[in-house]
Amino acid sequence: MEKEVTIYDIARLLKLSPATVSRALKDHPAISAGTKRLITAAAEEMGYRSNTFASNLRRQRSNTIGVIVPRLDSAFMSTVLAGMEKIVNEGNYNLIISQSLESVRKEKANVKTMFDSRIDGLLVSLSSDTDDLSHFQPFFQKEIPVILFDRVLPHPNCTSIVIDNVRAGYDAAVHLVRQGRKRMMHVSGSQKRNVYEERLRGFRQALAEHGLADDLVLVGNLTRQDGLDAARYIRQLPQPPDGLFVASDFCAASCIGALKEAGFAIPNDIAVVGFNDDPVAQVVEPRLTTIRYPGQEMGEIAAQSLISHLSGQPPVTAANTIVLNHELIVRGSSTP
């Protein structure tokens, strides 16, 4: 393997001191512009690479932030990551992104990899089957900040960034009630996750307040197939629901397509509300009523909170739960 070029090699070639070469490559003001140009040109020609890893070890800082998300093929997570990247780049940090693929086993492996990579802090949205945060203990012991967003679990060493999912589920159900719907159904995700458990709780709270039954609940993974399965289940019911709240736009769009193929008119027969305001919400016909989830804002606030802590601000703790606003966006899938 070819030997790495060092500042000593450049210094020998140019007959300069290693200290002068090092300062020039760091754009030190004590080095003249002409000398900097000479050294930079020689470094590029020789294939010199700055050893940032060794430098970071000396400074006990990697200038790298890790992110673990459930899936990268999510429109919502894409907006969250865009917000994070914006803030991280402005703060001169790098971002390492990995996905758990909804598996706690893979999430644990990702956490270990991030820890071994000496990242300065970690941003995490938990997998669907994560029960506890014991695998983050190495971070807690080293006082490396961990911020949870969207899918969270309470922990004294973590800040959480969420929306009021109970209220969002409540708002979705009340909207359907106000459209005159009497028999409601909810399609949800894993009840281990706060986001889905809380949306269901809000949905049930609204129905209880209006004297309506809440026994039509399907729990799955909110995939395209889950949307098709929900439509199949509805077709088999002797009395189908006239209102449907799905905790994912993608799953809701899939369900709408299958219901229309089966002869249901949307929204006349079944009014539908989704969640997230993903791009698919404006592609499906009729366009989907949904809860707008501020993904980019969530990503920006999560990254800024972490960087602020790394810059000496108050520590990351469970007392620092940040709740963002959501918004009901009414479109044609729920109103004639």
Per-residue model confidence as pLDDT tens digits over 244-276: 999 999 999 999 999 999 999 999 999 999 999
Spell out the CATH class of 63-163+295-323.
Answer: alpha beta
Mean pLDDT within 84-103: 93
Confirm whether 63-163+295-323 and 165-294 share one CATH topology: yes
What is the pLDDT, as a whole number, of residue 46? 84
pLDDT of residue 149: 96
H-assigned helices in 60-214: 75-90, 104-116, 137-141, 165-178, 194-209
Read off the amino acid at residue 265. Answer: A
Buried (b) or exposed (e) across 21-57, using 16+ Cβ within 10 A? bbbbbeeeeebeeebbebbeebbeeeebeeeeeeeee
pLDDT band at residue 1, thresholds of 50, 70 and 90?
very low
pLDDT confidence bin for 44, thresholds 50/70/90: confident
| Least-confidence region, from 47-51, 178-182, 193-197, 208-212 | 47-51
Domain extents in the chain: 7-50, 63-163+295-323, 165-294
Instruction: State which CATH number among 3.40.50.12780, 3.40.50.720, 3.40.50.2300, 3.50.50.60 fits the domain covering 165-294.
Output: 3.40.50.2300
> What confidence score (pLDDT) does residue 215 get?
86
Which one has a higher pLDDT value, 117 or 296?
A: 296
Q: Give the residues across from 329 on adjacent strands.
A: 290
* CATH superfamily of this structure's domain 7-50: lambda repressor-like DNA-binding domains (1.10.260.40)
Higher-pLDDT residue of 171, 40: 171
Which of 7 and 331 is assigned the larger pLDDT?
331
Identify the pLDDT of residue 48.
81
Q: What is the pLDDT of residue 29?
A: 86
> Mean pLDDT throughout 104-113?
94
CA quadruple 83, 86, 92, 95: dihedral positive or negative?
A: positive
CB contact set of 326 (below 8 Å; sequence gap of 6+) = 163, 164, 167, 168, 171, 291, 292, 293, 294
Of 129-138, 193-202, 250-259, 305-314, least confident by mean pLDDT is 305-314
